[in-house]
Amino acid sequence: MSDIYLTNTLTRKKEKFVSIDPPNVGLYSCGPTVYLSSHIGHMRSYVGVDILKRILKLNGYQVKHVMNITDVGHLTSDNDTGEDKVEKTARETGKSAWDIAKFYTDQFFSFTDSLNIERPDVVCKATDHIGEQIDLIKKLEEKGFTYKTSDGIYFDTSKLSDYGKLTGGKEGIKAGARVEMAEKKNPTDFALWKFSYSHIGRGDPSTPLRTILRIDAKWNGKALGERGFLGGI
C-alpha cells in the first residue's frame, strides 16, 4: 500500500491520508440536481471522484461510496428564493416532477456509464430522506440555531463561532453584495426549509445537501471518513 497525500481543506496543506477505520473508507460525493441534462463540464467532477475512488481501491482500501440525487429543493435563485428547478421543468414540459427526476437520473447514469465511471454503492434521493431532514431541523431549532421568517426556517450562522472555517471565514462578506438579504439576519445564513408547495407536498427542504449528516448516519452508521465535495449540477 502506497502513501496517499490529499489537500486538507481545513489546514490548506497537503497531508498524508489516514483512514479513521482502516481498511475502510467512506466516500461521499455530491450528485446532480435532476432537472436538465448533464454536460461535459458536469462530468469533470464525477471523473475526479472516480479517479480518487480507484486510487483508494488500488491501495487496498475498501471504499463505500455514497452519492446523493437532488430531486427536490434546489431553487432557481442563489438567494434561497424562486421555483424548485425540478418543478419548473415539469411545468414547462407538462410532465410530473417525479417523471422529470426519473428521466434525468437515468440519463445521468447512462452518461457516467459511457465514461466508464464506477457507480456509487449507495444512491440517496433527497425525496427519500425528508424525514431525516425534518428531524435534523427540529434538533437545530431545539439548540437555538434557527429562526423563522415569512418564507421559511433559516440557519443562523452567527450562532456557530467557527462557521466558515473551511472557506477561510466570514470576514469580507458584504451583506447584499451578491444576493438580496430579504429577511436574513446575516449574509451567510441559509434556508433549511421553505414554506411552499412542491411535489413532496407542503414545504420544501431547500438544499438537501445541507442535511447530509443524516444520510451519513443512515447509510454508514457514523460520519464518513472522507468526503469528495467535487460539485454537483
Residue 113 pLDDT exceeds 90: yes
- What does each C-alpha distance from 210 to 41, 60, 132, 191, 205 come to in angstroms? 23, 31, 12, 9, 9
pLDDT digits (tens, 9 = 90+) for 115-171: 999 999 999 888 888 888 888 888 999 999 999 998 888 999 999 888 888 877 665
Question: What pLDDT, on the 0 to 100 scale, is given for residue 231?
Answer: 34
Confidence class for position 223, pLDDT limits 50, 70, 90? very low
Share of the chain above pLDDT 70, in %: 75
| CA dist 118 → 28, 63, 123, 221, 229 (Å) | 14, 12, 12, 23, 17
The answer to whether the beta carbons of residues 101 and 71 sit under 8 Å apart is yes
Cα torsion through 44, 50, 51, 54, rounded to 10: -170
Residue 220 Cα distances to 123, 214, 217, angstroms? 12, 10, 6
Q: 3-state class of 1 per DSSP? A: coil
Q: What is the mean pLDDT of residues 55-69?
A: 94
pTM comes to 0.81
Q: Would the pLDDT of 219 be above 70?
A: no
The whole-angstrom distance between residue 94's C-alpha and the CA centroid of its chain comes to 28
What's the CA gap between 129 and 1, in Å, rounded? 37
- Domains observed in the chain: 5-228 (3.40.50.620)
User: pLDDT tens digits for 184-206?
Assistant: 899 888 888 888 655 544 566 66
CA 233 → CA 32, 45, 123, 147, 214, distances in Å? 5, 10, 16, 28, 21
